[in-house]
Structure 1
Amino acid sequence: MRGPICAAEMPVTLDGRTKPASQWAAERGLKWQTVKMRRYRGARWEEALRPELYARSWMEGWSFAC
């Protein structure tokens, strides 16, 4: 009996083609950590694997001026 599938090896279908999630990430120039965090925050695979989404700092928009 096989154990649970690691998220990086999860089969993901985009545009009618199925590949492991980590392979999609690599082909799209995304770090696996970026994809994993997008998924953790609730993004669907299609959203998490979009390279055009910009990276932003978790502190973006904060102001230290009082």
Structure 2
Amino acid sequence: MDQMQQLSFDFTAPVVALPRMPIRATTCAAATRVTLGCVTLPALEWAMHRGLKWQTVKMRRLRGETWEQALSPELRRSTFMSAWRMHG
């Protein structure tokens, strides 16, 4: 019979973490001054005034939407699962 080979891990090797590159070069800081109409407020204040969570606005900006689009309170129609159908 063949002899079993013992495997070992080297836990002393340095862990190298590569920096995560941004998907898009989009500004989405909460303190960014945004002008809608003739009123200028920080983006976070616009989100609060419009009843939006900051995370929602931030994700919309990261997807490439303008500030006006990202701060619109209407729900977005998602196309991610629009082609999915339930079996049965």
- The verdict on a shared fold, with TM-score over 0.5 as the criterion, is yes
2:75 to 49, 54, 61: 54
What count of residue pairs does the alignment treat as equivalent? Answer: 61
Larger Rg: 2
Determine the structure 2 residue equivalent to 1:8.
Answer: 30
Larger helix percent: 1
- Name stretches of at least 5 consecutive residues in structure 2 with no aligned partner: 1-26
After superposition, the C-alpha distances for 1:18-63 in whole angstroms (9 at most, x for unaligned) are 1000000000000001100100110000100001x21456753222
- Name stretches of at least 5 consecutive residues in structure 1 with no aligned partner: none
- Alpha-carbon distance in structure 1 between the residues aligned to 2:32 and 2:43: 6
Q: Structure 2-normalised TM-score?
A: 0.58
Question: C-alpha root-mean-square deviation of aligned residues, in Å?
Answer: 2.5
Determine the structure 1 residue equivalent to 2:47.
Answer: 25
8 Å contact from structure 2 (residues 33, 43) kept in 1? yes
Q: Among all aligned residue pairs of Structure 1 and Structure 2, give the percentage whose two residues are the same amino acid.
A: 56
Q: Structure 1-normalised TM-score?
A: 0.75
